[in-house]
Structure 1
Amino acid sequence: MTFPDDLPRSPTGRVPAWVQQEAQGMAPAPTEWRTPPSAAYPPAPWSPTPYVSPRKRRRTRAMVTGVVTLLVVLALGMQEMLPWQTSSDLTNSAWRADGVWRGDTAPDDRTRTPTPGYGEARERLLPAPVVVAPDDSYAILTIADPYAGEAVQHPLTWSPCRAIEYVVNTEGAPEDFTERIADAVAEVSAATGLAFVYAGPTTEVPTVERARYQPERYGDRWAPVLIAFADETEIPRLADNVVGLGGADASYDPTSELFRAVTGIVYLDITLTDELLLWGEPAYVSVLRHELGHLVGLDHVDDDEQLMASGGPVREFQAGDLTGLAELGNAECAPGV
């Protein structure tokens, strides 16, 4: 079908599915990733932020051996090795004025939530970080109020009084994937003062419709953050040049009267296991750091000297990134979720 030129499009020129549906007069379906904690408080919009590479190669999960092939390439600069850029079509996802979510799939249960306060302590678990070199080159992800609309924005923050649990699906991943994750998570923990706990491996497969509450698998608590490699057959948003998705799912906390992050995902495209080592670490690690930044609440910034820029050669957190991470770690406790 041919669509008018004035419709929103991704950087690759594609018209997003929700735009196609609206253009055809079809009501978009809600998604279970935004399961409301109650009828009174609908869930916060959840928009995993994509990472894009024009060098991506298509490959199916079945072909992955889990071994990174080391190639020697001379005279390649960092810009060529890390030409990641980000599309904006997902970050614009939001509740519409009519209360209909522009999502991908319909939920199977919009009422299931865990008992509030799992793992919540009375005080923060780790000391608040100290910023050595403050820099204002950062941006904080915000959540539009589902009732007030875009005019009222809530910052996306995690409770510093409970650990952020995460699980890892190692299918198709390099042998040291879990260790690489632990190192990157430790960097984010030190920068935010948020505690992270590795809850172990999981067989849960990456999915767009991931439920944030899975008592049959994880018990009476919010599902841990899922970190995994995936391909475009599992996650359609990893098609074309997108090589990573990351973000948090939030729930309304009546104690702070804010939406607080309760779980999330970090998905890395399986083709990243083919990329070169960069200064002693696999190429996917810089993407992992970037997506972990989104997970804890950092947005993109228009500064190519920061890791959270939508493109550029940076592979580690810089002064602006670290300032933003420290701010995100100074939230209130959230015993109500």
Structure 2
Amino acid sequence: MTTSDDLPDDAWPRGRHAADPSRSLPSGPPQDPARSPYDPPQVPATPPSGAAEPASWMPQASRGAPQLSDEAYERAFAEIERAAAGWEPPSRAHLRVVGPPASPYGDPRGWSVPPAKPRRRGGWLVLVLVVVLTIVVLDRGLGTDRLSPTLDVPRAQWLGDPRAVGGDAPRPGEGEQRERILPAVTTTQSGPYATLSDGATWSPCRTIRVVIDPTNAPVGFEGWVGQVLAEASSLSGLSIVLEGTTDERVSFDREPYQPSRYGERWAPAIIGWASDAEIPELVGNVAGLGGAQQLTRGNQTGYVTGGVALDVELLRAARQRGEPAYVGVLRHEVGHLLGLGHVDEPAALMYGGANSVSTWGPGEVEGLAALGAGRCTPRL
């Protein structure tokens, strides 16, 4: 058997025929169904008798083969390229890459969904800073002059001495207990404080009763009043009870004894809202007023009633330290109601000028404890 190595050099085609250029070139080797198109064609070792010797791809000068012109070569190449362009080996069909089914939204490699916008780093930080600054501004309040009560005048100037000198008064000692109702308060805190009176205090043996005038009061006002009164009771050791609302209008020119409205007792202290048209002392930057009315009988002097008025302008003020702006003013005025006066310390709740302090300080703690340690007054 003769192998391909035994064949003469001109037995295999090399790309260009040296045959008659007028002949058409084959489009490809003959296909044998039993063979792969990639197997090399079987070429007989020797041509059959009578057959022409296979033409070589290169001109053989020694054999006298005719030389092809450049035009013939170009026509031959064009024929081969046209044949190769439309032919694909059938055995390679399984290698074709089949893409995903067509998407109803368009080309799966180019969805019609708009591209995502690039994330802006730092945008969340700007938002956090805006929120924090807003909270700080609201917490500190706007316009601190409107948040500071500035007036401290003895309430006797408005309430006057009680008109009860005969039968127009409750029975002496009405509601008075034999002993103090709550234990006296002791504290180690110390700070500046002042009192409205040199000798008057609330009796620790009698409950201080308070009512609210609901006129112009905001939502939640009664709850805040109850909280502030509870704080004052804890710091002073005085029994303070919020009875609810009343139909009486807040005023510092009220009757201290109103049996038709409150029964046979001293009228409870009143807390409410008013304008400077109703209470002239609220004019200007005065945010609130507060105090107590004292009575002297024999050798006993003490407070029997009182009141707190908040300026309605406070309703438009921003929150302060997480609370409505009026709560700090309410603490200040309740301090007056229990007998505290103004001090010259700007960092104190009971400072007489403009500030934004809204909580009890060491001076108020010491002062309330001292005011709650007074004597019982069974004659009042």
TM range (shorter): 0.5 to 0.7
Partner of 2:319: 277
Secondary structure at the counterpart of residue 287 of structure 2:
strand
Whether 1:82 aligns to 2:159 is: no
Write out per-residue CA displacement over residues 77-135 of structure 1, whole angstroms, 9 at most, x where no aligned residue: 848553325246x45x87xxxxxxx76999998752211111111111111112132x1
Q: Any residues of structure 2 matched to 1:54-65 within 5 Å, and which?
A: none
Distance, in Å, in 1 between the alignment partners of 2:163 and 2:372 is 33
| Cα distance, 1:322–1:105 mapped onto 2, change above 3 Å | closer
State the distance in 1 between where 2:173 and 2:162 align.
24
Label 1:108 to 1:321 Cα distance change in 2 as closer, same or farther (>3 A): closer
Deviations 1:133-189 (A, max 9, x none): 2x14111111xxxxxxxxxxx323100011100001112111211100000001100
Change (3 A) 1:220 1:129: same
Which residue matches 2:342? 300
Number of aligned positions between the proteins: 244
Matched, 1:223 2:267: yes
**Equivalence for 2:130:** none
Correspondence list, 1:233-272, <5 A: 233-254=277-298, 257-272=299-314
Q: C-alpha separation between the residues in 2 aligned to 1:193 and 1:108? A: 29
Aligned residue type for 1:306:
A
Q: Given that residues 206 and 234 in structure 1 are in contact (C-alpha distance below 8 angstroms), is that contact kept between their aligned partners in structure 2?
A: no
> Gaps (5+ residues) in structure 2?
1-133
Measured after TM superposition, the shift of residue 333 of structure 1 is 0.6
Q: Whose strand proportion is higher, 1 or 2?
A: 1
Residues 150 and 285 in structure 2, CA contact (< 8 A), matched pair in contact too: no
CA distance in 2, matches of 1:288, 1:210: 20
CA distance in 2, matches of 1:77, 1:200: 29
Alpha-carbon shift at residue 240 of structure 1 (Å): 2.5
Which residue is equivalent to 1:179? 223
Contact 2:270 2:307 in 1 (8 A): yes
From 308, 315, 325, the equivalent of 2:368 is 325
3-state SS of 2:176 partner: coil
Look up the SS of the partner of 2:303 in the other structure.
strand
Change (3 A) 1:273 1:167: same
Higher RCO structure, 1 or 2 (CA under 8 Å, sep 6+)? 1
Aligned to 1:132: 188
TM-score, structure 2 as length reference? 0.59
Q: Which runs of 5+ in 1 are unaligned?
A: 1-71, 95-101, 143-153
CA 1:104–1:294 in structure 2 vs 1: closer, same or farther (change >3 Å)? closer
In structure 2, the CA distance between the partners of 1:296 and 1:87, relative to structure 1 (3 Å rule), is closer
Mapping 1:204-215, distance limit 5 Å: 204-215=248-259
Separation in structure 1 between the aligned mates of residue 370 and residue 165 of structure 2, nearest angstrom: 32
Q: Please give the root-mean-square deviation of Cα atoms over the aligned residues, in Å.
A: 2.7
Please give the alpha-carbon distance, in whole angstroms, between the structure 1 residues aligned to 2:136 and 2:206: 46
Q: Aligned partners of 1:223 and 1:279: how far apart in 2?
A: 34
Structure whose alpha-carbon radius of gyration is higher: 2
State the match for 1:123 in structure 2: 179
**Following the alignment from structure 2 to structure 1, what is the Cα–Cα distance between the partners of residues 275 and 165?**
27
- What CA deviation, in whole Å up to 9, does each residue of 1:184-213 have, x standing for no partner? 001100010001111221010123321111
